[in-house]
A and B are shown apart, each in its own frame.
Chain A
Amino acid sequence: MTFTTVFQNIIKILTKYWDVFLIKGVSVTLALAAITVFFGAILGALLAIMKMSRLGILRAVVTAFVEVIRGTPLLLQLYIGYFIVPLMVPALEIGTFASIAVALVINSAAYVSEVIRSGIQAVDIGQTEAARSLGLNKSQTMTKVILPQAIKNILPALGNEFVTIIKETSLASTFFVGDLMTSYLVVKGQTYLAFESLIIVGVLYFVLTFVLSKLVGAYERRLKQSD
């Protein structure tokens, strides 16, 4: 296997299967990551609020949940999602993609809740005191003073979470959900050219995550400037 043959094989694969990688694989991976981060952020925000609640029981439940999610492998969680979710909502005849997406969302929510909580707590306590001393109540202080500042800490971190999720969705290929890694499995099965297919998928993952992290970085710098 020389460099030239590998290169030629890659060209061959791309000519024949480019749509499998680019149209199907990349779009499913991006869609899965976007769904995960979007709903993960919403659920994560709820968890963060619960974690900062005055009710000890609520805090304990969230803490336990976050620890369990962070302390077990994502692949295991995906398996559980794959088997459990259809059992819990049988009426919907929920598909593999949805089951996997739900598992990813739950996983991401645990991480995002910490991102949001630390983003909020990073805002100087003096800001809360100033707002409260003017007579603002707790929720007015949160929505008008703290959150607008915390969002600057949270958004870049969410962007990075998106980049991480793009890589982690590759585990979903275990269930053939059609993501980029599934493209690899499909093309390898047809061509028996495992190495070349892997190179293609690897380059695509890298381009996706590299471009996105650069964008997040630029956005982060812009936010910093407006401080």
Chain B
Amino acid sequence: MKSINIADQPWLSMRRTISITVDGIRYRLFRASVTVAVIVVAVAFLMNILAESLIKRSVASNTRERIDTSRVIYNWSAKLSSPGSQESIIIEVANCSPDSDLYRETQRFAAMNDEDMAAFQTHAQKIVFIFDFFNSLDYAKRRAMIHTASGLEILNRLRSPENMEQFKLALSRIRSVHFDMSYDELDAVLAKGPEIRKQIGTIITARRKAIAVINKTLKGKTVLEKLATADGPFGDTIRQAGFIFDADQTAPLVADQAQRLLDILALEESMEERPTRQLIAQQANILPADVNVMMMWKYLDGKRFATRYLEKMQEAGITTEGLAPERLVDLAQGRKENAALLRAERLTLDAGKGVLGLGERLGWLLFVSMLVCGIGITNAMMMAVTERFNEIATLKCLGALDGFIMIMFVLESCFMGIVGGIIGAILGGVIGLGRMLAAFGVNFLGAIPIGDIIVGMLMSVLLGTILAAVAAVLPSFKAARLAPMEAMRVE
């Protein structure tokens, strides 16, 4: 027989390696599926939390936007009735963006050039920062620093040196509180106090004048009633008085919302009349004395009831001009939507903090669950290696390289990671979606960030796979180092 020159053993092709690995998994499907289940649970947990926080964050910004829009009427009716306080103007200016109507309007009232206005805003932001700092303190700490001062009084108080000393002393003693502004900067803000006060005074005076112009045109009507025609001549009046009131967008929106508010007020008032009250009592099967506004809105959601309600209103002698059953239903639904918005706002208060919108505690929980999953996979792979001692040793007798054995086990774990990751990501995503839909209702469907969720799913699958691969390294190493003579052992 020929003599063989010893050479290096070649590497097995990846295709063959994968096919051997897959055959091995198929043969031990039950064990593999238990391991996969561990990965599924971990990845589903991750994906669920991720999906919920993504949806929450998106719903939160959507809600804020919608609520802001729905409150335009309140802003305008307030603005046309009162010039506002010094503090409210500072906060307004600090928070508005330089290309907004409010910014330009304030600039006009203050009669400032662009540069001064920008400086004014920067200053207002610093003052708001100081306000926020003191507002975040509890009563005892706040009292120790600035006694009972609030609002602009704080700045006045701090301008006296001894009060400033008190503040600094208190700040140095209370270690849990950090004031992220240098004392120099604080002094600069305080030094500018009188100037700011003067500027705000100018704004308030200008506003008061503008409001006086508006008041002349009211002729016994309320501002709200007048605002219902804001898309008409009243809008021009507002503009002439010096306000910046956009005719194309803001005006129709304000007019519509004003009319809505008027209608709602009219309806809620009408409920006090005998015939209408009796109708609601009849519908709810209770005494007329127990009827409340909530019930009226609940029943007005149906068109048949709305029609009958309108009839009863006429019976009671209330003018129903401009009110149709459809309008009533629409108003009732608008109220419902508003309630949903408020609920969503409350539910999403905690959204958007920390990495990916996860809080510190959730992040920690996720980390621990991933760790537990990793240990579970390691354990399962250890068991698999022990169970396959004979097989591994035999393969080595047949000429398998250590690297092949290593790759075989890591691959096996990776496959389970991919399968478990995909199932887990889908499961977690669906559960998260379902839970969020149940919490916020279907009218937030448009706010669901599908793209972000898909990216999150891919990330979860990737993470599951990496986790499985890393967890398999140690058992695979153990398998690769197994002595081939183990094959001789008789079981």
On whether the two chains bind one another, the answer is no
Binding site for A on B (CB under 8 A): none
